[in-house]
Amino acid sequence: MGLVYYDMGDYSKALLSHEKALEIRQQSLPSNHPLLALSYSNIGFMYKSMGEYAKALSYYEKALEIRRHSLPPNHPDSAWSHNNIGNVYNKVHDYVKALSFHEKALEMRQQSLPANHPDLAHSYANIGIVYENLSEHSKALSFYERAVDIGQRSLLSNNRNLEKWRKNLDRIKQKLK
């Protein structure tokens, strides 16, 4: 239900729904269960969407901690936690920390996923965004190109993320002219 409310733009109801899911899971699952991490991550996403970055970071960090203790090293879900934390740091303009978390997510994904997996494209695109924010446009270009390349090989041509990555690539090419 939380995702439906989110898609409708009702972040308050989405947050309440995710908090209720967390409460139910806390009552029925052990404290290190990966589904608890999913609930924490969903709540973090709601707070990020609402611009409450400190709260988002807190929930994303809880999700990461559970995943560190309950999943194998380099598990793709742990990579998503690093990705989410990196996105928050990017939003608050702490680009050094953002880059560190995105690079860790990329490293984990490279070790656990096939070379053309779309999650790798997410990492490349996120690193490109950080480099663009740091005004390191040629580095951003390289990462955007990798994201688009993987996206074109693994996603439908009208995929929302692929379209976004292409726009990022076009924008950075314009900045480099």
CATH code for the domain in which residue 53 is found: 1.25.40.10
Of 71, 104, 120, which closes a domain? 71
- What mean pLDDT do residues 128-146 have? 98
State the pLDDT at residue 58: 98
Mean pLDDT of the chain: 97
Domain shared by 176 and 99, yes or no? yes
Domain shared by 30 and 106, yes or no? no
- What mean pLDDT do residues 119-137 have? 98
Residue 80 lies in a domain: no
State the pLDDT at residue 71: 96
Structural domain count, the chain: 2
Percent of the chain beyond pLDDT 90? Answer: 99
Residue 88 lies in a domain: no
pLDDT in tens, 148-163: 999 999 999 999 999 9
Domain shared by 118 and 174, yes or no? yes
Confidence of residue 164 (pLDDT cuts 50, 70, 90): very high
State the pLDDT at residue 25: 97
Q: Distance of CA 101 to CAs 25, 41, 62, 104, Å?
A: 27, 15, 15, 5
Domain shared by 67 and 99, yes or no? no
Residue 124 lies in a domain: yes
Domain shared by 3 and 60, yes or no? yes
Residues in Cβ contact with 35 at an 8 Å cutoff, skipping those fewer than 6 apart: 25, 29
Q: Is-above-0.85 flag for pTM?
A: yes
Of 36, 71, 106, which closes a domain? 71
pLDDT in tens, 18-54: 999 999 999 999 999 999 999 999 999 999 999 999 9
Residue 25 lies in a domain: yes
Residue 14 lies in a domain: yes
Residue 78 lies in a domain: no
Tokens of 21: 């899911």
Residue 38 lies in a domain: yes
- What mean pLDDT do residues 106-134 have? 97
Domain shared by 99 and 152, yes or no? yes
Residues of the domain holding 172: 95-177
Residue 18 lies in a domain: yes
State the pLDDT at residue 165: 98
